[in-house]
Structure 1
Amino acid sequence: MIMFKDSPKIAVVGLGYVGLPLAIGLAKHFHVTGFDINDSRVGELKKGEDRTNEISKELLISSTLNLTSTMEEIKGYDVFIVTVPTPVTAMNQPDLTPLAKASETVGKLLVKGSIVVYESTVYPGVTEDYCAPILEKNSGLKCGSEFYLGYSPERINPGDKEHTVDKITKVVSGQTSDVAQHLAMIYGKMNQGNIFIAKNIKTAEAAKVIENAQRDINIAFINEITTIFSKLGLSIYDVLDAASTKWNFLKFLPGMVGGHCIGVDPYYLAHLSRTLNHEPEVILAGRKINEAMSHYIASQIHEKLQFRQKEKPAKILLLGITFKENIPDLRNTKVIDLIKNLKSYGHTVFVHDAYADPQEAHKEYGLTLLPNLAEGGYDCMVGAVAHDVYAQFELEVFKELLKEDALVADVKNIWSAKKLPQGMNYWSL
């Protein structure tokens, strides 16, 4: 029987949206060091500044969490938890580069008895078949006898203050039952024992990758019927209000599906399917529909503008570029596609976001954000992201920002109950 320490030293590798909250939670019960290769990120966190807005300054400063960008400081730790991103390539193929680099780093730090836990979203088999050989090569140790593997899928929902890592059910799995039980003890300290032990690592990997793929497919259905009902002059939001009175109706909302999970994970599942000589149909059909929504929304806005402006290019104010409301996360945002599509029609698009980092927006997308909303005279205002600050707009704001006959394009249905100035036209999905 393997003997693991009751009070292990834990290293969390990657301090982004997933790793930082996890490290903070575990540090309440164990000796924990958060490691990130980004020196500036570590420096900001040491000052109590979290640009993801997931952890408050007070909590950061008061936490016993150690922070470092130096590998040697976590050498020989008992447990390494890897929380790096797993994106896709330009061809929508899994990009395991961050995972490989993290595994190379961790491999050099392992000692006999260490456990390496992955939280990154992957398809079944990646932890044992892809990561393990990299760990073995860089450590000189044998997986399964000298060090061990675990997998505990992340379930972080950026900006969600209710379903935080210490309040949700945590799925854990281990290379052996002893490893699984040990990880259940560690994670259970953080969330009052709310643990589900999966049958094995591949099962846990599979459970994670289908969670987001399922949401993607459900949203795709809503997006498709949105385009159908719009031809009848029906608002999908009115339809959903009626349908959701039934007890078992699942109320998903239409829109552009981006972000680092829902817009990415189905491609991991599709990749796995093809390696098994099975052509995925439903999974990729959902992706195809959701990927097309930015073009559909742009075409609808353009059509309304053509009617009102007699085919002249419009000056458009677009509000919000993050992938969801009230967070600064720009990863895989589909609003960028909406902007490109609007520009392809000849319109001039000015962009404001109350949360996004202007420097990051420019670096990632070549986009220059408006510093404020002082200027007016726009032909159209697009509510692309439902940030609270935009949802609170009242009559005077519309008057100040828009021309008298402007179009208000309410993609997220945040102004449907607002009174607009006379002469303005309102459109929503």
Structure 2
Amino acid sequence: MNVSVFGLGAVGLPLSLVLSIKGLKVFGVDIDEQRILNIKDGKSGIYEFYNEKSIDEIVIDEIKKENFIPTIDYEYALKNSNIIMITIPLPLLKNKKVNYSYLIDGAKNIGKNLKKGDLVVLRSTVPIGTTRDLLLPILEYHSNLNVDKDFFLSYVPERMAEGKAFEELINMTTVISGIGENSINKSLEFFKNYFNGDYYIVNHIEVAEASKLIENLQRDLNIAMVNSLSIFLLKNNLIPSDVIETAKTHKRVKNLLSPGLGVGGHCLPYAYYYLKESAREFKDELELFEVGRRINDDMPKKVLNLILKKLKQIGKKPKNCKLSILGLAMKDYSKDTRESPSLKFLELAKKHFKELSIYDKEVVIDLNEKVDSIEKALKDSDVLVIPILQNFHKDLKIEFIKNLMNENPLVVDIKKLFDVDELNKFGIKYILF
């Protein structure tokens, strides 16, 4: 049994490797030829580990074993596969409408090469109704085959978090739905053979699609709550993390999330817009989620305003100051910059500061402000912003920072990396989340 995985991003590549490690021959298909070359060279740009090996080391191992074949040749892949996994992303257009074009193109290519007995599994996060109303008609039209009779179609939402992809793909409870009983059974049979977690069967495919959106929306909304509270608490001279940790001592409040500069990636920030796409005439029912999304989107601007106010209190003018950012990824311990709040903050800060400097050795990105050492980033700086954590933050000491930065520096510690007493000891002004 061979598998084709369409889309080799943060979901598709780990999924391909999980299956190849299990002994299947996996064709990893992507339309981006440079992406394929980078993957073959062990330069995926994805921050994942499994059994003490990086994802790039696993890629090289599986290619050598001929279990994993990255390719742009989808026709060859489909000709030699019985299982087709779709992890093609649905990006947003500038007007925040969902861009279905990549999924449509992929579905057409799959449909034209679909064979009797093939199982197609959509694993991307999608608006409600996408599998039945968009994917299914394309597959049937281009294949001239009937679903649940000649071929099988299932929706199995991915539920992994970046940085934990292998463990969660293998062990997390898998929601399985399909267009018809045969499709559900075919999908269940496959997943039971190659994944270890429990299984939750859903007879209506739209329920599975909606459940994935709710999983993302509740996190987006919870983060919005603590972000909104954090700005309020900071304006009242309280440290948000102190308040949050105190509140979490109550057993029914212990799952409060931590505040941040915003919410990055293509999962949580997109969920509201996917749900809105599904809502049609019922969009007013989504008001709460819209507010939460706006709060998280506005965080870079609100944090910048806090900095500008604090600098005024210190007696410094931003137009004469250098601002440094340590951390560019969209979340802690990541290489991914998609929808990164740090990049949004950078663009806003450019309008106010004389100079900006950024350091994040984990991120490959072409920016004029990016430097190759912490020392260069902090040298003669007036403001230090820590929006996320990377491994290099562990060795960061207050005295080291103090010696490199200008007199009366301001540290904006969104991750609560430093202790208040230590900051006070070295005479450093701060904004602590």
Same fold (TM over 0.5): yes
Question: 1:128–1:149: 8 Å Cα contact kept in structure 2?
Answer: no
Distance 2:346 2:101 in 1: 29
Q: Which runs of 5+ in 1 are unaligned?
A: 1-7
Quick check: 48-57 or 79-88, which moved more? 48-57
Shift of 1:31: 3.0
Q: Secondary structure at the match of 1:304?
A: helix
Shift of 1:194: 2.3
Do the aligned partners of residues 292 and 58 (structure 1) sit closer, same or farther apart at CA in structure 2, a change above 3 Å counting?
closer
Do the aligned partners of residues 417 and 194 (structure 1) sit closer, same or farther apart at CA in structure 2, a change above 3 Å counting?
farther
Q: Secondary structure at the match of 1:42?
A: helix
- With normalisation by structure 2, the TM-score equals 0.90
Alignment of 1:211-222 (within 5 A): 211-222=215-226
Question: 1:270–1:283: 8 Å Cα contact kept in structure 2?
Answer: no
Do the aligned partners of residues 57 and 323 (structure 1) sit closer, same or farther apart at CA in structure 2, a change above 3 Å counting?
closer
Which of 330, 333, 342 aligns to 2:340? It is 333
Shift of 1:66: 2.4
Amino acid at match of 2:198: N
Alignment of 1:260-339 (within 5 A): 260-276=266-282, 278-313=284-319, 314-339=321-346
Alignment of 1:371-410 (within 5 A): 371-375=372-376, 376-410=379-413
**2:3 — aligned with what?**
10
**1:37 — aligned with what?**
31
Do the aligned partners of residues 193 and 239 (structure 1) sit closer, same or farther apart at CA in structure 2, a change above 3 Å counting?
closer
Question: 2:171–2:197: 8 Å Cα contact kept in structure 1?
Answer: no
Question: 1:121–1:208: 8 Å Cα contact kept in structure 2?
Answer: yes
Quick check: 22-31 or 283-292, which moved more? 22-31
**1:5 — aligned with what?**
none
Amino acid at match of 1:43: L
Q: Which runs of 5+ in 2 are unaligned?
A: 49-53
Alignment of 1:97-246 (within 5 A): 97-160=101-164, 163-246=167-250
Q: Cα deviations across residues 204-255 of structure 1 (Å, max 9, x unaligned)? A: 1011011001111111111121122223211110001111111121221112
Which of 3, 8, 13 aligns to 1:20? It is 13
Distance 2:197 2:407 in 1: 58
Shift of 1:95: 1.8
Distance 2:317 2:239 in 1: 25
* CA RMSD, 1 decimal: 2.1
Question: 2:18–2:166: 8 Å Cα contact kept in structure 1?
Answer: no
Distance 1:13 1:21 in 2: 12
Q: Cα deviations across residues 363-407 of structure 1 (Å, max 9, x unaligned)? A: xxxx54212223311011111112131243013420343113111
Which of 29, 39, 46 aligns to 2:40? It is 46
Q: Secondary structure at the match of 1:318?
A: strand
Q: Secondary structure at the match of 2:409?
A: strand
Question: 2:323–2:353: 8 Å Cα contact kept in structure 1?
Answer: no
Q: Secondary structure at the match of 2:182?
A: helix
Amino acid at match of 1:282: L
Distance 2:283 2:233 in 1: 37
Question: 1:29–1:189: 8 Å Cα contact kept in structure 2?
Answer: no
Question: 1:325–1:388: 8 Å Cα contact kept in structure 2?
Answer: no
Question: 1:81–1:116: 8 Å Cα contact kept in structure 2?
Answer: yes
Q: Cα deviations across residues 140-185 of structure 1 (Å, max 9, x unaligned)? A: 3334433221111012211236843112111111112222122122
Which of 250, 257, 260 aligns to 1:252? It is 257
Distance 1:399 1:192 in 2: 50
Q: Secondary structure at the match of 1:116?
A: strand
Question: 1:404–1:422: 8 Å Cα contact kept in structure 2?
Answer: no
Distance 1:226 1:47 in 2: 43
Distance 2:5 2:134 in 1: 20
Shift of 1:75: 2.7
**2:78 — aligned with what?**
75
Question: 1:74–1:109: 8 Å Cα contact kept in structure 2?
Answer: no
Distance 1:300 1:220 in 2: 18
Quick check: 64-73 or 246-255, which moved more? 64-73
Shift of 1:408: 0.8
Quick check: 170-179 or 391-400, which moved more? 391-400
Q: Cα deviations across residues 84-121 of structure 1 (Å, max 9, x unaligned)? A: 11221212222222211221221222112222111110
Do the aligned partners of residues 262 and 418 (structure 1) sit closer, same or farther apart at CA in structure 2, a change above 3 Å counting?
farther
Q: Secondary structure at the match of 1:66?
A: strand
Amino acid at match of 1:173: S
Which of 63, 68, 74 aligns to 1:65? It is 68
Distance 2:344 2:41 in 1: 35
Shift of 1:139: 2.5
Shift of 1:323: 0.6
Quick check: 136-145 or 377-386, which moved more? 136-145
Shift of 1:312: 4.6
Quick check: 248-257 or 69-78, which moved more? 69-78
- With normalisation by structure 1, the TM-score equals 0.91
Say how many residue pairs are matched.
416
Distance 1:277 1:257 in 2: 22
Q: Secondary structure at the match of 2:338?
A: coil
